[in-house]
Structure 1
Amino acid sequence: MQSLLAWWSAGFLFGRCFVSVFGSGACDDCVGSYGFVFVVCLLAEAAYRAAATRFLLSCQKKPGKEKARLAGGCPAELTALLRRCVQTAAGKMKDIHDVGRDACARGGALNVLSNIGCMSINVTPHLVQLTYEAALKSFWRRRALEKFLRQVRISDRHLATWSQDEVKREFLDRTFAALQKSPSSNAVISNMAQALAEQSSFPDLENWEDSVVKIQAAKKAVKDLKEYLNAQKLSAEAAREREAIKEVAREQAQALQRARGTLSELGDRLALLTSKQGTQSGGYEYEAWFYDLINFFELEHRRPYVAAGRQIDGSLTIDGTTYLIELKFTEKPSGGPDIDIFRGKVESKADNTMGVFVSMAGFSSVAIQDASGKKSTLLLLDASHIYLILSGGMTCSEVIRRIRRHASQTGESYLPVAGFGGA
């Protein structure tokens, strides 16, 4: 029985000490949170008392030896119950104590700050000075200034330190000095600056003998503050635009790097095909390779097909014009007969149809002459044009546009890469 009473007393004292020890470290802002833990501890103590009472009553009904054995130690159910209560309360207390400690450190000794989200304003010394001047000149009565400061989250505790014989300027000096002690107070200064800059009237400055002078000074202070905030906003927007431009440039550079990597792979594949140039199998592989190149540039196209009994090596569409494709992967340059056959395929189609003849071995002078002329519908590309595309110097569509423009201006279907620098 004595052992049980000792455990009971220890539990009672532990509950009291737990609250007093942890509660004594609380800052004024954490009183509500510690109150919750205080209730938890009292509940733990009450649960302990109830369990202990039930245990005593059960002991009285046991035989002598069993009663002595039970009374000689702490019952397991009480120990487990107490342990659970204490651990829960201690864990909760640690979390609250840490949060409270951090909040008090941020608030500073005067506890000026209340909980407020950060604003997207750059709090500079000049902004602080402009905000101070606007607050000083926008309010004349103590009560009006007090109300405003409370609205922008200056704590009641700090406002309570404003003595009757302390003038507005002195109190604002103390307030702003306290606010500038911690970077986290920038949120309050930002909120205050925005609220002051939004003023369009000054009711507290009306009905005074010198109201005109007071309101004029307040308007100037607010105007200076608003202009500074607007300048900051424009500067921030310009910075965001610059960053957006940089981001686009970075994305384009990355895309170009990826493209170069893929073009390099296509170039390697073409280099492997050169040993098969002039063979039937090489021609089929080159055809597949060519459309992989077209796919890379995401051009609208159609792979090889047969129309009216004629084999068409495919087509692609650029700027609304459809171009039939003729591919030659031979060892000898394409000649006049090749041009005649391809022209026949193109001219049998709709009026807007043109042809792109790609010959890796180039063209004979006769072929170029036959392809060119008045109202020519053929454009001629050779290996130099393909390697220009693979180098990343121009895209496939840019090369075709350039040769077509040359054909429109001169009637010549062929423009060597060396002539691309001209008009």
Structure 2
Amino acid sequence: DLISSTFSESFAKLVILAITFLSVIVMMFSLSLPLSFLVIIAGPFVFLLINFITKRTKVLFSQQQVTLGKLSGQMEESISGYSVIKAYCQEQNMINSFKENNDKLQELGIKANIWTGILMPAINVMQNIDFIFIVIVGSLLADKGIITIGLISSFVLYARQFMRPLNELASIYNTLQSALAGAERVFEIMDNKEENVSEGIIKETSIKGDIEFKEVCFAYVKDKPVIKNFSIKINHGIKVALVGETGCGKTTLINLLTRMYDVTSGQILLDGLDIKEYNLKQLRSYFGVVLQDSEIFNDTVYANLCYGLDSINKARCKEVCQSVGADAFILRLPQGYESVLTNDGMLSEGERQLLTIARSIMVNAPMIILDEATSNVDTRTEKNIKSAIDNMTRGRTSFFIAHRLSTIKDSDLIIHMEHGEILEVGTHEELLKLNNGYAKMYRLQVGD
């Protein structure tokens, strides 16, 4: 809002000031060249003064925006995480931290306003000095009969009109500095390359689901690789489980597969073709995805279940929800399947996750990705939806990310990852026989 209002108001003012400025210059030069040069010579000094002060206010306004961002983020965290703050008795620490950031913001605001406040009086002083010189030089010229006393009076008024746009410009410039300090953070986002969902030469085609990772490397930050020389071939129609400690690169690998990010080096092949050759929108339509975070939209249950589909099939929605055990809690909602869902605790995390699983089944995609799909449901509910997931993944290339190893024992291929690399690969029984990292993790979980 600050950026929008500042630019819209400032633009209109600048047009008026430019017309006034040019008109005054034309009138002055038509009356007296010596006095005109005397008026104009003050301009560069005013610009030097503006530049001197705005260099300092720019830094202060920028720091002010950063501190304001921290303060806003802290307020949001305090409200969204108030139960955790109370549970750990951190109320006073949060108050102290807020006060520290707020005091810093206040200090920066005072300094910025001091420098901004100096600008206008300083310009006025320079303007009055210029008036004195106009009167002195004008008096000398009048004494010699070159100009009249009335012309001196006119030039003082013209000088005031000449300075007024400069005063206004200084005020606008300060306001722009404040707005641009906030805009810098917006520009950082806008400067990012826009994702082109239409790129790729392969658009409409049926796929089998053969996937191959060929020496794939990826880093979020340069020289800090998250995935390192990852190579494996996955045949279509099998269940693949990715396991490993938190932060080993499992979710990152899935993001590379769906091109949320592009590989730093290497290739990911789908049915023998680099995934970059596929139309991005088409590529992502090949995957039914259930992520760790159960995202629910502010719309009806029907609309959430059919998200991404061209039409709503109510009968199919109910059938799928019954298969995953979501039908019972949906019917308890005020308007059942027509209820508009909100993010204010209307559904528990487990219920939200059941809806996202049902949504992925509705898509009927040829490949499935389940990232901790049952992490927020109880054991009984997990058992109920396992058969639905088995039906959904039958005959489709499926990727499971799980920390509960008991949920992926029947996978056709288990890839144990560590620090972005493949540590061991095999079925559940094969990895237990190897008695390496996977076997130790499994025994630790089952208490053997």
Shorter-chain TM-score: what band? under 0.3
Where relative contact order (Cα < 8 A, 6+ residues apart) is larger, the structure is: 2
Q: Which has the higher strand share?
A: 2
TM-score for both structures, normalised by structure 2: 0.23
Larger Rg: 1
Point out the structure with the larger helix share.
1
